[in-house]
C-alpha cells in the first residue's frame, strides 16, 4: 500500500450523519484547522463532514443542497478527503478512473494523480469533442444520456467510478451500465456523499458503492 494510505484504518469508515451542519446566507463554515501546519491526516471523517453544509431550499423550495465548496476551500479537509477516496479506490483494484460530470472531475483528477491512474471523463451529450459511445437512462420526466470517448473502455479492464454525491443513483447506474455495455469491469463506485435515504445504490446492482459520508 502506498504511504498516503497508512494509518487510515480508524478513520476510513462511513460516517452516518443525522444532524448535518446548516449553512445560511452570509455565514462562513466553522474552521477546523487554524493553519495548514495541521497535517491533513489529523482530520477524520467527522471533521471533514463539518465542511459540508446544508443550504435549505436550493435549487428549489423543499430541497436541502449539500454544499461542498467549503470542503474544496480547505486544503487540509480536501486533501484528507482525497486521501480517503484514493485509499478505497486503490483497495478496489481499479486500473483506471471514470469521473462523472461535473464535480466528479474535481475529486477524480486529484485521486487519479495521487494513484498515478488514467482518468476518463463521463459527460452529458455533446460535451466531448471526438466520437463517443453512450448509455440512455430514464428520468422522472423524459430521458438523459451519459457518454464517453469511443475506445476508452477496454474489455477486461477494471474501472472505478467517482463522483461527489450519489442521490437517486441514475447517473452512476447509467455509467456502470455503459462500462458493462463495452465489456469492461466495474471495480466499484466511490463518492464523498451518499444520500442514503434515497437508496440510490440499489440501482447499481452488483457494482459496489463506497461512500465516505452517508446522510440517512
Residue with cell 486544503: 75
Q: Which long-range CB contacts under 8 A does 27-30 form with residues at least 24 apart?
A: 29/53, 29/70
Catalytic-labelled residue, pool 19, 28, 140, 216: 140
Top-confidence residue, 45 or 172: 172
HEC profile of 131-167: CEEEEEEECCCCEEEEEEECCCCCCCCEEEEEEEEEC
Does residue 40 have an active-site annotation? no
Cell numbers representing residue 181 in the block = 455495455
| Ranges of H-type helices in the chain | 45-49, 69-73, 75-92, 103-115, 170-181
Cell numbers representing residue 84 in the block = 480517503
CB neighbour list of residue 140: distance below 8 Å, 6 or more residues apart: none
Domains located in the chain, CATH noted? 13-31+39-215 (3.40.50.2020)
Does residue 103 have an active-site annotation? yes
CA dist., res. 131 & res. 106, Å (int): 24
Cell numbers representing residue 75 in the block = 486544503
Tens-digit pLDDT profile for residues 53-109: 999 999 999 999 999 999 999 999 999 999 999 999 999 999 999 999 999 999 999
Q: pTM surpassing 0.75?
A: yes
Tens-digit pLDDT profile for residues 149-196: 999 999 999 999 999 999 999 999 999 999 999 999 999 999 999 999
Binning pLDDT at 50, 70 and 90, where does residue 147 land? very high
Catalytic-labelled residue, pool 101, 103, 145, 180: 103
CA dist., res. 85 & res. 63, Å (int): 27
Amino acid at each position: 500500500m502506498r504511504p498516503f494510505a497508512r494509518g487510515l484504518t480508524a478513520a476510513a469508515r462511513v460516517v452516518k450523519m443525522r444532524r448535518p451542519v446548516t449553512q445560511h446566507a452570509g455565514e462562513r463554515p466553522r474552521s477546523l484547522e487554524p493553519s495548514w501546519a495541521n497535517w491533513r491526516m489529523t482530520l477524520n471523517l467527522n471533521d471533514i463532514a463539518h465542511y459540508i453544509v446544508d443550504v435549505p431550499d436550493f435549487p428549489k423550495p423543499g430541497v436541502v443542497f449539500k454544499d461542498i465548496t467549503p470542503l474544496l476551500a480547505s486544503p487540509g479537509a480536501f486533501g484528507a478527503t482525497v486521501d480517503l477516496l484514493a485509499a478505497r479506490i486503490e483497495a478496489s483494484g481499479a486500473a483506471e478512473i471514470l469521473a462523472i460530470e461535473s464535480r466528479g472531475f474535481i475529486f477524480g483528477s486529484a485521486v487519479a494523480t495521487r494513484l498515478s491512474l488514467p482518468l476518463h471523463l463521463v459527460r452529458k451529450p455533446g460535451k466531448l469533442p471526438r466520437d463517443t459511445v453512450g448509455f440512455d437512462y430514464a428520468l422522472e420526466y423524459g430521458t438523459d444520456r451519459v457518454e464517453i470517448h469511443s475506445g476508452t473502455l477496454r474489455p477486461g479492464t477494471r474501472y472505478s467510478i467517482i463522483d461527489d454525491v450519489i442521490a437517486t443513483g441514475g447517473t452512476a447506474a447509467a455509467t456502470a451500465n455503459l462500462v458493462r455495455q463495452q465489456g469492461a469491469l466495474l471495480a466499484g463506485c466511490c463518492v464523498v456523499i451518499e444520500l442514503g435515504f434515497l437508496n440510490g445504490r440499489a440501482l447499481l446492482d452488483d457494482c459496489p458503492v463506497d461512500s465516505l459520508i452517508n446522510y440517512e
